[in-house]
Structure 1
Amino acid sequence: MNSTSQSMWEWLTWVFKRSNSGQCLLFCYALWWIWFSRNQYIHERKNTTGRALVLNIQRYMAEQEELKALKNNESICRRYGVQEDIPRVRILFDAAYDNKTFRSASNLVGWDLRGNLIVLKTVIHSNVPSPFAAEAYACLNGTKLGISLRTHSVKLMGDSRTVIRKCQETTTDKSATRAIIRDIQSKKSNFQELIFQYIHRSKNSYAHRLAKNALEKGETTYMREEELDRHTFALVEIWPRNPD
């Protein structure tokens, strides 16, 4: 702020010359998040508070440090012939289906590497032909959520064995939902690692209840940051912190 430079480029250069590497990273993260929040306000009318902005910057910096540590651990494991499956985010998905109205609700529950709840999302779909298609849409929404979280490693976990198997396959799907499956597989390039894992319905009961409730109300939800924090206390007794 003490710089007398007039142009933006001179100001940026002035900041970088007088900052260490950590300060430069913080500066870049802050600029990026401010610009991202500005675009959200202009295009989505979503206003981000100063506190939320600070938390986003701090969380992103912490994630980058964890990613560096994870890469170092993976390098050590490869060196000694040890393989570890440590995805950065786990997203559990499930769907509720109404065969009278042909509507479905996709519910997504996201957990970070430490087992902390980081995101809840429900999406309502119309003209869904079958329960299987409803599960496929839920998996597709989980993939899209992983992209929006800007994480490079995601494990998608669902209790539809058929959907998980089709997503794991590399051959062309010929089922009625091939367009959805193809859309899911086309998004794999957005990740360094995208794992599809089947889990028993008993481990996915909370996601199923949320999907069923969303379908009954016809409401879409998306909770992160401060809004999610206000609801976390209600989840502690329903589901343990680590879904694995």
Structure 2
Amino acid sequence: MEEEDINHVILYCFRLQDVLLSELTFLKENVVQTDFIHIVKRVVRRNKAGELEKLFLCAWGIWYSRNQLIFENKRISLEQAIDHALLVAKEYECAVAEQQMGSKPHCGWLHLPVGSLKLNIDGALFHDQGRSSVGMILQDETGNVLFTTTKPEHEIIDHMEVELLAVLRGLQLCLPLGIHDLQVESDALLVVQELTKGEESMSIWGSLVLEIRNLLLRFPKVVIQHRGRMANAAADCLAKYSWHLHDLMVWWNSFPEVVSHIIEHDAL
């Protein structure tokens, strides 16, 4: 059996070569090399934007899928693992870009068309507790709160997954209410992009994306859009509020004191 090391994975494992070469085309110029560090040095000397980052992201994606199989008994394809790594990096870049924006985003209430409702959702991770949670708030066109809710999720999942799960839980709560015109807002740009792109999701969250899309089809009119983190503060606070809870909590036509100042500020 061949030794499992970075050289074997990146350079010699025939099961991985086709996928890696499709993402890292510059590796084709280094097929005769026998050392990963030598390839890194070659990439540095090439000095082409994004190549070095992509090389290490792909290596991290392979390591992530290996650990998922060994420690979580979850099998993730190489394509999904690399896609996951690249999406995580893109999410980070989006967050940095948002923080560096010169103009302060609008955080107050934006009036909706008459008859429309707005659902803000967010997720939170509690690594020290080994679990995550979701929070959401539904409001009418004038900002009146129809419900607020928070729900712990008793399993560690990554940031992208918990944000998608927040969308799913929010839609599941809204569906029985007979809503005809719904706007869903999330501060996770990649989640919005993943749900609104036309083609089938090939990411590791593909089954969750499909479940959400099927739910969306059951609403007469629904749109998913991105809002900045500050504009999504109430949902964020609700998600973090469940760190000490053990089950779903819903406040109908009301909200917990912990988000009252945010809702009052948004109404100004």
TM interval, short-chain normalised: 0.5 to 0.7
For this pair of structures, how many residues does the alignment match?
Answer: 157
**1:130 Cα deviation after fit:** 0.8
| Contact 1:152–1:193 (8 Å) recurs in 2 | yes
For residues 72-151 of structure 1, the aligned pairs below 5 Å read: 88-151=116-179
What TM-score do you get using the length of structure 2 for normalisation?
0.53
Deviation string 1:128-156 (CA, Å, 9 cap, x unpaired) is: 42111111100111111221221111111
Cα 1:160–1:86 change in 2 (3 A) is farther
Structure 2 Cα separation of the partners of residues 243 and 193 of structure 1: 25
Q: Match for residue 12 of structure 2?
A: none
Do structure 1's residue 190 and structure 2's residue 195 form an aligned pair?
no
**1:208 Cα deviation after fit:** 1.1
Structure 1 Cα separation of the partners of residues 265 and 182 of structure 2: 17
| Contact 1:137–1:180 (8 Å) recurs in 2 | yes
1:173 corresponds to which of 187, 201, 205: 201
Which residue identity does 1:122 align to in structure 2? Answer: T
Structure 1 residue runs of 5 or longer lacking an equivalent are 1-83
Deviation string 1:50-92 (CA, Å, 9 cap, x unpaired) is: xxxxxxxxxxxxxxxxxxxxxxxxxxxxxxxxxx966621000
Q: Match for residue 37 of structure 1?
A: none
Cα 1:128–1:215 change in 2 (3 A) is same
Cα 1:166–1:208 change in 2 (3 A) is same
Which residue identity does 1:97 align to in structure 2? Answer: L
Tell me whether 163-172 or 213-222 shows the greater mean CA deviation: 213-222
Structure 2 Cα separation of the partners of residues 232 and 100 of structure 1: 24
2:263 corresponds to which of 230, 239, 244: 239
1:217 corresponds to which of 215, 223, 245: 245
Larger radius of gyration: 2
Cα 1:209–1:141 change in 2 (3 A) is same
Structure 2 Cα separation of the partners of residues 185 and 242 of structure 1: 30
For residues 45-56 of structure 1, the aligned pairs below 5 Å read: none
Alignment identity in percent?
A: 18
Cα 1:191–1:243 change in 2 (3 A) is farther
1:239 aligned counterpart, secondary structure: helix
Do structure 1's residue 204 and structure 2's residue 232 form an aligned pair?
yes
Structure 2 Cα separation of the partners of residues 233 and 177 of structure 1: 34
Structure 2 Cα separation of the partners of residues 110 and 149 of structure 1: 11
Structure 1 Cα separation of the partners of residues 256 and 130 of structure 2: 32
**1:113 Cα deviation after fit:** 2.0
Structure 2 Cα separation of the partners of residues 233 and 126 of structure 1: 25
Q: Match for residue 27 of structure 1?
A: none
Cα 1:234–1:128 change in 2 (3 A) is closer
